[in-house]
């Protein structure tokens, strides 16, 4: 009889420990690295642009829609039928999505030009798709923007 009580007591202790161990297996999701370097090429008809970007994530809100807010500084060159020039821009942006796929949108001023009669506007913006997993270094970007036009870019976050 004592053996039966012992077995019941052992079973209850083991069952309780199993429930506690199962409840504590939830792991926190890794965060995005704060800094990234990116390069992109853009083409639209007779317009072509090459851009290098530095991006710094400012905040990682815990809200439902926005995953991160960032500042992006870009330097690039463009060529168009009958002209060429350089540009520099600073953009403020956000991206959505909690896992690897994100929608991003950003805008800001186009700061510098090297061509007097530039056809590039004094604003810059971009909207597009970003492939970047939290806690991973590799980044892929594609979308539409000014002055990048229809662009494809790769980046490394650190």
Domain span including residue 57:
35-157
Residue 22, in any domain of the structure: no
In a domain, 27, yes or no: no
* Model confidence pLDDT, tens digit, residues 17-53: 555 545 555 567 788 999 999 999 999 989 999 999 9
Give CA–CA dist 121/108, Å, rounded: 11
From residue 125, alpha-carbon distances to 26, 92, 111, 151 in Å are 39, 9, 13, 12
Please check whether residue 9 lies inside any domain of the structure: no
Q: Which pLDDT score, from 0 to 100, does residue 16 have? A: 57
Alpha helices (H) in the chain, listed in sequence order: 2-23
Read off the pLDDT band of 102 (50, 70, 90): very high
Q: Is 124 part of any domain?
A: yes
What CATH number should be reported for the domain holding residue 62? Answer: 2.40.160.20
Share of the chain above pLDDT 90, in %: 58
> What local confidence, expressed as pLDDT, does residue 83 receive?
84
pLDDT at residue 92 is higher than 60: yes
Evaluate whether residue 77 is within a structural domain.
yes
Residue 43 counted as domain residue: yes
What is the reported pTM? 0.76
If one counts the domains in the chain, the total is: 1
Phi, psi of 98 (to 5 degrees): -95, -20
Q: Per residue in 5-20, pLDDT tens?
A: 556 655 666 655 555 5
């Amino acid at each position: 009889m004592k053996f039966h009580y012992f077995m019941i007591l052992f079973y209850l202790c083991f069952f309780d420990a199993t429930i506690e161990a199962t409840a504590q297996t939830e792991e926190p999701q890794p965060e995005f690295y704060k800094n990234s370097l990116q390069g992109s090429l853009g083409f639209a008809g007779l317009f072509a642009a090459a851009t290098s970007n530095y991006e710094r994530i400012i905040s990682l809100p815990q809200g439902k829609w926005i995953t991160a807010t960032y500042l992006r500084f870009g330097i690039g060159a463009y060529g168009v039928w009958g002209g060429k020039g350089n540009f520099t821009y600073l953009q403020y942006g956000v991206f959505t999505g909690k896992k690897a796929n994100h929608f991003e949108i950003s805008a800001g001023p186009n700061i510098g030009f090297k061509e007097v009669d530039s056809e590039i506007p004094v604003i810059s913006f971009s909207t597009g798709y970003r492939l970047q997993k939290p806690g991973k270094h590799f980044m892929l970007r594609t979308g539409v923007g000014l002055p990048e036009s229809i662009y494809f870019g790769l980046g490394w976050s650190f």
